[in-house]
């Protein structure tokens, strides 16, 4: 690369960074930075349980538990289904491709990735609702043939759903209180933008 081209690239980087921080909102021209309001909220009890369940597997999904709950509530999907699939497909996100811990859209050489865990959680939950549940495939066993080539996939997903359910029952019985550090991290990464 010649010296002039390198100088041009070095000059463009700060300009691009500045333009990203002062990007106009909905086509308006403005030199003011766009400020989004973030509202803190109490974690759903299922999110507390799910975060601790993920923590027991040392999962990177631990701090996205509220996103799983929000997505499942939004689409009317059992809150244990998408986490259970991640258990089968990626050991709860530990062995995943580009924030895709569900094997979603991965066929042969084709591999779908997401920009974040949150994007993956919402995409997979919505896809399960539209392409499986709404078409009568309402449990892991009936989803198996369409979702995965392995004939044991449905059994494995069902195992993790039941395991998570047992964990939730034990959790409630013991009235475990998650650490304040976990609550702060989970609430922070699952905060809603208004």
Q: Which residue would you say has higher pLDDT here, 55 or 25?
A: 55
Over residues 95-115, the mean pLDDT reads 88
9 and 55 housed in the same domain: no
49 and 125 housed in the same domain: yes
Task: Check pLDDT > 80 for residue 97.
Answer: yes
Q: Is residue 40 part of a domain?
A: no
Q: Is residue 150 part of a domain?
A: yes
29 and 61 housed in the same domain: no
Residue 22's pLDDT is 47
165 and 185 housed in the same domain: yes
Rg (CA), the chain: 21
Residue 105's pLDDT is 86
27 and 65 housed in the same domain: no
31 and 69 housed in the same domain: no
Task: Check pLDDT > 60 for residue 156.
Answer: yes
Tally the domains of the chain: 2
30 and 68 housed in the same domain: no
- Nearest-5° Cα angle at 61, 178 to 142: 115
91 and 142 housed in the same domain: yes
Q: Is residue 146 part of a domain?
A: yes
Task: Check pLDDT > 70 for residue 177.
Answer: no
Domain range for 60 is 45-193
3-state secondary structure the chain: CCHHHHHHHHHHHHHHHHHHHCCCCCCCCCCCCCCCCEECCCCCHHHHHHHHHHHHCCCHHHHHHHHHHHHHHHHCCCCCHHHHHHHHHHCCCCCCECCECCCCCCECCECCCCCCHHHHHHHHHHHHHHHCHHHCCCCHHHHHHHHCCCCCHHHHHHHHHHHHHHHHHHHHHHCCCCCHHHHHHHHHHCCEEC
103 and 62 housed in the same domain: yes
Residue 6's pLDDT is 47
7 and 61 housed in the same domain: no
Sign (positive/negative) of CA torsion 99, 104, 105, 108? Answer: positive
Residue 157's pLDDT is 98
The CATH number that applies at residue 114 is: 1.10.530.10
Residue 30's pLDDT is 53
17 and 55 housed in the same domain: no
Whether pTM > 0.75 for this model: the answer is no
93 and 143 housed in the same domain: yes
């Amino acid at each position: 690369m010649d010296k002039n081209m390198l100088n041009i690239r070095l000059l463009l980087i700060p300009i691009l960074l500045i333009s990203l921080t002062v990007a106009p909102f909905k086509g308006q021209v403005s030199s003011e930075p766009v400020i989004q309001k973030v509202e803190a909220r109490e974690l759903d009890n299922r999110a507390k349980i799910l975060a601790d369940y993920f923590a027991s597997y040392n999962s990177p999904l631990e701090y996205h538990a509220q996103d799983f709950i929000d997505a499942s509530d939004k689409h009317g999907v059992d809150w244990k289904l998408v986490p259970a699939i991640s258990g089968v497909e990626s050991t709860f996100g530990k062995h995943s491709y580009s924030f895709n811990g569900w094997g979603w859209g991965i066929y042969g050489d084709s591999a779908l990735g997401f920009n974040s865990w949150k994007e993956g959680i919402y995409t997979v939950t919505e896809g399960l609702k539209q392409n499986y549940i709404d078409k009568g495939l309402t449990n892991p066993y009936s989803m198996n043939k369409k979702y995965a080539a392995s004939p044991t996939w449905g059994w494995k997903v069902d195992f993790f759903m039941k395991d998570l359910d047992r964990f939730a029952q034990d959790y409630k019985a013991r009235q475990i209180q998650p650490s304040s550090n976990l609550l702060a991290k989970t609430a922070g990464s699952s905060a809603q933008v208004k």
